[in-house]
Structure 1
Amino acid sequence: MKNTIMFDGLASILAYPREDYKSRLTMCLEALRTSEFPDPERRQSAIEHLQQFSDAVIPLSVGELEELYTRTFDINPVSSLEVGWHLYGETYERGTFLVHMRDLLRRYAIEESSELPDHLTHALHALGRMDESEIREFVPARLVRALDKMLEGFAVNPNPYEHVLKSVRILACESVTSHGGE
């Protein structure tokens, strides 16, 4: 399953909201609906989570979306979007992971944003371009572990972004399954 457009779309939803946020969300849902999946039930579950998110945020103004995003990911470290921070905290190993992620971004010609290289948006852009062996190594060992920790932050405080992260987790696991892993 090579779904660069779908993973890029998910990355755009997890980036700081801009004026075109709602159109990006619509395009991401469409990409998900037309993507190839070995398991139709997982696909449907991912679509349902993303649709729940869409239903919750479409009525919001861009300003309200910005506030929700900041409150969810920037102020609350438990649900921050830095993959390496969830895996390694502020240790030397995180520095090594940041270098690895920067190398991936360069290899796949992914432009770095103002976010650190281990930001989930960068990881999703890279995931959509990885070969099978990279997917089998990266997703279970790093991405899913970090997503599980991010999702723990929503156990006490439910939030629409929880549905995006659940959809990302399902699709990341599906990318491993479709390449003979997991």
Structure 2
Amino acid sequence: MKDLTHYTDLAAIFRYPTPKRESFIGVWRKIIWNGLTEQGPKLEMFITHVQEKTIAAQQEYYISTFDVQAVCYLDIGYVLYGEDYNRGIFLANMKKEQENAGNDCGSELPDHLPNMLTLLPKLGDQNLAEELVVSIMIPALEKMIESFQATDNVYKGMLEVLLNVMKNDYPASEFERFNFSSQEKARSFECLPQWRNIK
């Protein structure tokens, strides 16, 4: 059974900054430097950001990246579907999975990236975890990374790190990837077979 607990630690990177995030630095380094050394410099840039900026400055940076006049959105369903009605279906199904797993989403939506990351190790079905990563999260992360014009944004670097962690965890998956073309969106939603008949 694949150990996915590192996604809980990585989720802290993408949550609204609090003083608690510094406590994750050691485990972030262990996750990345022990298996993905080429991604280490990006992590170190983020750690410098955490250690050298005040919490207020980190919060402002986070808001300008993900909230007010956002460069990038962290709600995976929105990244995939925009305002398309299928986003509502996706949200409903993610809510069901989050509740079944007992994963507390707090005040954020069930498809918020940190909530989807903390869900992965709580899923009893390893195939569903793989399918979520390969079919949904990897394509969404690639789209999110493309939305950054500034190459020096530390969150762009950390999204790239997360993407590489996922690709390293599932290097030869046979699950179908989400297709962003408008003609294929409805069909690509069907890549999660357990959800096909949920209304």
Question: What TM-score, normalized to structure 1?
Answer: 0.84
One-letter code aligned to 1:25: I
What percentage of aligned pairs have identical amino acids? Answer: 29
Shift of 1:104: 1.8
Alignment partner, residue 161 of structure 2: 167
1:2 matches 2:9: no
1:26-175 pair list within 5 angstroms: 26-33=26-33, 40=35, 43-130=36-123, 131-156=125-150, 158-175=152-169
- For 2:142 and 2:95, locate their aligned partners in 1 and report how far apart those are by CA, in whole Å: 23
One-letter code aligned to 1:181: S
Cα distance change of structure 1 residues 51 and 156 upon mapping to structure 2, 3 Å threshold: closer
- Bigger Rg, structure 1 or 2: 2
Alignment partner, residue 186 of structure 2: none
Stretch of structure 1 that moved more, 156-165 or 21-30: 21-30
Shift of 1:33: 4.3
SS at match of 1:128: helix
Shift of 1:78: 4.4
Alignment partner, residue 181 of structure 1: 173
Q: CA RMSD in A?
A: 2.0
Task: Spell out, residue by residue over 1:114-135, the C-alpha distance to the aligned partner (whole angstroms, 9 max, x if none).
Answer: 1111100011112233443113
Alignment partner, residue 16 of structure 1: 16
Task: Spell out, residue by residue over 1:67-126, the C-alpha distance to the aligned partner (whole angstroms, 9 max, x if none).
Answer: 110011002444010000010011211111111111221122110111111100011112
- Choose between structure 1 and 2 for higher RCO, CA contacts under 8 A separated by at least 6 residues: 1
Task: Spell out, residue by residue over 1:33-77, the C-alpha distance to the aligned partner (whole angstroms, 9 max, x if none).
Answer: 45xxxxx4xx22343322222123321011110011001100244
Cα distance change of structure 1 residues 53 and 13 upon mapping to structure 2, 3 Å threshold: same
User: Is the CA contact (8 Å cut-off) linking 1:46 and 1:168 kept in structure 2?
Assistant: no
- For 2:18 and 2:98, locate their aligned partners in 1 and report how far apart those are by CA, in whole Å: 23
One-letter code aligned to 1:158: D
Question: What TM-score, normalized to structure 2?
Answer: 0.77
- Structure 1: gaps spanning 5 or more residues: 35-39
